[in-house]
Amino acid sequence: MSIQHYSALTTEEIVALYDLKDFAVLIFDETLTLTTVSHTNAAVKEWLLNHHLSFPIHIKAILEIDEITYSAILTSLHKNKKYTLTAPTIHEQGMWVTIQLESVQLTNTRAIVGTFHFYQDVMTLQSLAKETVYKEAPYGVFTLNKAGLIIDTNAMAFGLLNHTSPSNEGLHFLDFVSPKDRSKALSAFKKIITGFATELELTGLTKDLKQKQLYINGMPLAKNGEVYGIVGLLNDTTETYRVKERLRQSEVEYQSLFKENVDAVMTFDLQGHFTALNEATTNLSGYHREELLGRTFNFLIQPDLLERTLINFHATATGDSIEYETTIRTKQGASLTLNITLIPMIVDDHIYGINCIAKDLSEKNRLNQELRYFAYHDHLTGLRNQIALTRDIDALITDGTITSFGLLFIDLDRFKLINDTLGHTKGDELLKKIAKRMQTTKTGALQFYRYGGDEFIILYQNASITSIKHYASELIQLMSQSYVIDGIDIVNTPTIGISLYPDDALTVEQLVKKADQAMYHAKNNERGTIQFYQTNLPVQMDSILEVESALRKAIEQEEFILHYQPQIETKTGRIHGAEALIRWESPTRGLVPPNVFIPLAEETGLIIPIGEWVIEEVARTIRSMKKQGLELPISINLSIRQFYQRDLVERIEMILTRYDIDPSLITIEITESMAMDAAKALVILKELKALGVKLAIDDFGTGYSSLNYLKQFPIDYLKIDQSFIFDILDDRAITDSIILLGHRLNMSLVAEGVETKAHVELLREMNCDILQGYYFSKPISKEALIDFLTSFDQTEH
């Protein structure tokens, strides 16, 4: 309500005012004692009566006026004849009045006339806030006292915080603030209480403890320089905050994609000038940032690709995203093939630039080339592989320019033994050496492939049977020469099967299959030889497969037997012992020779149970002869799988204990090649020796022994391979050296393959210790061995 001002009043005007209903006219004397009130204003009279105020009454009994103010009123009325006073009433809290006083001259005396206005529910801070701000404001409004307790809130404020109207009053404002922002809120509160308006953003808590982002404008409530509390304006900025956070996150992600991207990322204006670029761009191009910014990309593009590159760029400038490949030349002069992705930068449907992502395809292309290479090549040897073989033969057949060719299927003899003994690393090294040596024979008509494992294939184009046979024979000689690996000389002969196009087959599959069958046929007859495919070979091959199947049943059905070949002492002519040799008595195939089923048993792992059966059968034989008063040492051949079996020694000891056999009556024979891994072999040999058995190296002179390790091996016997005995009458040098070596190492020498009296006499002359061969006896059954022991006349030999 605005204050009304009046000019000097005449008597008539005072009388007129006295009759107005909207005003209360008060008559004061010169001491400001109220003497009368206009009778028309019942409200004022009622108010005076309600508060037990009767005339005359001094103004200081009605209004809160101190002496200074009172004196000022009187002085002003005396000098200026007028004074306007606004003050709170004494008798009703929250009630203010405004009195406009004027000194007038009445007929008989001077009086002070005042107009009187009530300001109830308007002049207090609380009433003013409620009426003008609290109810109408489109934001939350709250009032705090100096202790921070909530005195009042409008509907918007308590609705924003999910509280009912009275439920939040009397609570501390920090109850509505997230713990993480309470320190900030408390600092702002203290600032406002000291008289400074403050704005801040913080995270608030609703009644159900959900978080909301709030913007608060806090102002002190002060009177006469003293702050009584705070009024605050509250805005919910949660959605704005979320939008800002999303924008900030988007900016972070964009900057991360831009700056940290391993690919080159750059932006261009619509004319193709660099406007921004990441570090990967400078690394890729070789140019510094300053050398690229503001410059068009044209100079980087390979000239013959520039026109197409510009077409793609301008297409993007019209709103299309495009992906393509181009080639640039770096600052260092290198050519790089890039995969380019162009994306228009659109804001409010306006294209103002182009984003570009460039991926270097050089490494990808290199990897693709490697993948294409290894798709058709063996990764170990570098030779072409099975896939390439199929592709090449199909191409030859389809092309028709090559009318004939031979397919040579090569399998390495005893490679598995080398692999198992020396390990796969050394085996791989041997395969690489074999492949390299094989390729030394390469001509324009030859192509080499590694088919798998230790199998190779050679494609020989436009060649006659004679030339293929001649080449295969020379290849066997070349490949049969020793290879040196870690100081060990390794001999690995190949066996070769050959099929011919178009005589034997018309497809890759059949050509390979028939060459493979020819190779197996050769391998089972004589390793290290050549075999051309013949129509009867599939039958022979099928029988081999049947042998493998039957071999598994033979173990269960106990179809194996042992034959024994006696060994004779050279000097005394007495029986020294016997070697146990396994035979397979098949009910359908008869007596199957060891060279047929032993390789199959090795490959399938069946050699382990077969070998254990041999040891146990020898133990039974020794026990049986012991009961008849006979004692004879017997030699047992171990396979490489058995020798490197973890519990070999424990199994042998268990069998000897079970049959009560003196360990010295058992001689364990291993081949020279089985001891190629000398360090590991030495451990096993020492454990066997500790068990009490004798040890022998079989086929000595044909393998890969290191003499240094041979000295360390606890070997009792060296068995000279029969191939040396066969030629001994013509060439005794090697046998002499072996005998001399064995004796120097305190080992006894056993000669195998002794077939004539001349052999016996010469070996006796050469001081060989023990003889074994058909001259004395072929391998015989257990029963025949007992007869041999009882009937053998040492004087005849």
- CA torsion sign for 713, 717, 722, 726 is positive
The reply to whether 521 and 577 lie within a common domain is no
215 SS3 class? strand
Token pair in block for residue 344: 């228009």
Residue 259 lies in a domain: no
- CA torsion sign for 569, 574, 577, 582 is positive
CB-CB neighbours of 315 under 10 Å: 15
In the chain, the number of structural domains is 5
Can you tell me the distance from the alpha carbon of 445 to that of 452, in angstroms, rounded to the nearest whole number?
22
Residue 716 lies in a domain: yes
pTM: 0.46
Sole residue written with tokens 């099967």: 497
What does the pLDDT read at residue 163?
67
The reply to whether 481 and 414 lie within a common domain is yes
CB 265 within 8 A of CB 278: yes
The reply to whether 738 and 652 lie within a common domain is yes
What does the pLDDT read at residue 43?
66
The reply to whether 294 and 383 lie within a common domain is no
The reply to whether 675 and 763 lie within a common domain is yes
| Domain of 481, in residue numbers | 377-535
Residue 258 lies in a domain: no
What digits encode the pLDDT tens for the residues 122-151? 344 455 445 555 666 778 888 888 888 888
CB-CB neighbours of 564 under 10 Å: 25
Residue 714 lies in a domain: yes
Q: Which residues contact 366 (CB under 8 A, 6 or more apart)?
A: none
Q: Rounded to an integer, what is the distance from CA 260 to the centroid of its chain?
A: 21
The reply to whether 651 and 620 lie within a common domain is yes
Can you tell me the distance from the alpha carbon of 397 to that of 540, in angstroms, rounded to the nearest whole number?
29
User: 592, 606, 605, 614: which is closest to 524 by C-alpha?
Assistant: 592
The reply to whether 767 and 629 lie within a common domain is yes
Q: Which residues contact 396 (CB under 8 A, 6 or more apart)?
A: 402, 405, 459, 461, 501
What are the distances in angstroms from CA 55 to CA 28, 52, 58, 109, 730? Answer: 11, 10, 9, 19, 167
DSSP, res 488: E
The reply to whether 474 and 614 lie within a common domain is no
Residue 370 lies in a domain: no
What are the distances in angstroms from CA 493 to CA 251, 520, 526, 567? Answer: 70, 14, 11, 31
Q: Which residues of the chain have pLDDT under 50?
A: 1-9, 18, 20-22, 40, 120-125, 128-129, 539-542
- Out of 211, 242, 273, pick the residue that ends a domain: 242
Can you tell me the distance from the alpha carbon of 362 to that of 449, in angstroms, rounded to the nearest whole number?
30
Which amino acid is residue 333, in one-letter code?
A: G
User: 710, 696, 706, 713: which is closest to 636 by C-alpha?
Assistant: 696
Among left, alpha and beta (phi > 0; psi -120 to 50; other), residue 81 is left
Residue 558 lies in a domain: yes
The length of the chain, given as a count of residues: 797
- Out of 535, 569, 594, pick the residue that ends a domain: 535
Residue 670 lies in a domain: yes
What does the pLDDT read at residue 5?
35
CB 597 within 8 A of CB 589: no
Token pair in block for residue 369: 């080339």
Can you tell me the distance from the alpha carbon of 770 to that of 578, in angstroms, rounded to the nearest whole number?
11
- Out of 330, 365, 400, pick the residue that ends a domain: 365
What are the distances in angstroms from CA 353 to CA 247, 266, 268, 358? Answer: 20, 11, 6, 16
Q: What is the CATH number of the domain that holds 559?
A: 3.20.20.450
Q: What is the CATH number of the domain that holds 392?
A: 3.30.70.270
Residue 276 lies in a domain: yes
Can you tell me the distance from the alpha carbon of 299 to that of 274, in angstroms, rounded to the nearest whole number?
12
The reply to whether 484 and 403 lie within a common domain is yes
What does the pLDDT read at residue 2?
31
Can you tell me the distance from the alpha carbon of 729 to that of 751, in angstroms, rounded to the nearest whole number?
14
Q: Which residues contact 19 (CB under 8 A, 6 or more apart)?
A: 38, 40
DSSP sequence for 751-796 = EE---SHHHHHHHHHTT--EEESTTT---B-HHHHHHHHHH--GGG
Token pair in block for residue 263: 């690919």
What does the pLDDT read at residue 21?
44
Can you tell me the distance from the alpha carbon of 336 to that of 327, in angstroms, rounded to the nearest whole number?
5
CB 750 within 8 A of CB 529: no
The reply to whether 634 and 667 lie within a common domain is yes
Q: What is the CATH number of the domain that holds 222?
A: 3.30.450.20
The reply to whether 624 and 648 lie within a common domain is yes
The reply to whether 531 and 398 lie within a common domain is yes
